[in-house]
Amino acid sequence: MSLLEKELSVSKPLTGQIALVTGGSRGIGAEIAKELAVQGATVIINYVSNIEKAQQVVDEISAFNPNVYATQADVSNTEDVIRLYEEIAENYGKIDILVNNAGITRDSRFMKMTDEQWHEVISTNMNSLFYLTKAALPKMIEQNYGRIVNISSIIGQSGGFGQTNYSTAKAGMIGFTKSLALETARHNVTVNCVCPGYTYTDMVAAVPEKVQEKIIAKIPAGRFGKASEVAKAVRFLVVDGEYITGQCLNVNGGMYM
């Protein structure tokens, strides 16, 4: 079933809601943007530099939901985030759904890891979480409604060789989620994590085939995940997760339980 056919065949529970998806120009972020748009949300796709990729996602979504926009911001920079939210407030008035998906890897064995590799990953993957949520939360509390979904990773749960920086950021995201959920539950603002396993994106596609085979051998489901499967988990938490908060939803084919 095409996205257009799917859009026509289901109700639109998110109609009238504004969703911001960071890192939404490709991979998992792009699929999340599409899934929320299918549900009727107005979707703002954040990208940092690749306007061509972001526009491709906008064009694809526009075929079935005209309420989709791309906006540039470096979410690791607090001043850029403030500018982004001022722009959103002026044009849309609010954010109902925040998906913190932006993330990078700078893998290296710890003894060879540079300060730059450490700070770049922590800043993009972790500091952005603070800046974006800090900006979005007051309006959510004021309107007594909000959905925050943070895209963590199996690496934040199990660790990863040569990924001390990435694992630290993604594990910190889980702690952030659980603590913030305690503060916001009474305001009808849910905060949850989705933890993808090895998902077939451009990053995985670039891994040598022999390495891919070794990874798949460790996955009980016997294959990589799909970005669309992660997006469906986000949709569930946003659409049907009104009594779910502070949780980690694992989408990993049984690799980590």
- Domain assignment present for 187: yes
* pLDDT attached to residue 10: 60
Residue tagged active-site, from 47, 85, 131, 166: 166
- Domain assignment present for 257: no
Look at the chain and report how many structural domains it folds into.
1
Segments forming the whole domain that contains residue 237: 3-251
Catalytic annotation on 131? no
* pLDDT attached to residue 163: 95
Q: What is the Cα–Cα distance from 257 to 245, expressed in whole angstroms?
A: 19
pTM of this structure: 0.94
* pLDDT attached to residue 169: 98
- Domain assignment present for 193: yes
* pLDDT attached to residue 5: 55
- Domain assignment present for 256: no
- Domain assignment present for 234: yes
* Contact (Cβ atoms closer than 8 angstroms) between residue 178 and residue 152: no
- CATH classification of the domain holding 90: 3.40.50.720
Closest among 93, 215, 103 to 150, alpha carbons compared: 103
- Domain assignment present for 211: yes
- Domain assignment present for 44: yes
pLDDT in tens, the chain (257 residues): 555 555 555 679 999 999 999 999 999 999 999 999 999 999 999 999 999 999 999 999 999 999 999 999 999 999 999 999 999 999 999 999 999 999 999 999 999 999 999 999 999 999 999 999 999 999 999 999 999 999 999 999 999 999 999 999 999 999 999 999 999 999 999 999 999 999 998 878 888 899 999 999 999 999 999 999 999 999 999 999 999 999 999 999 999 99
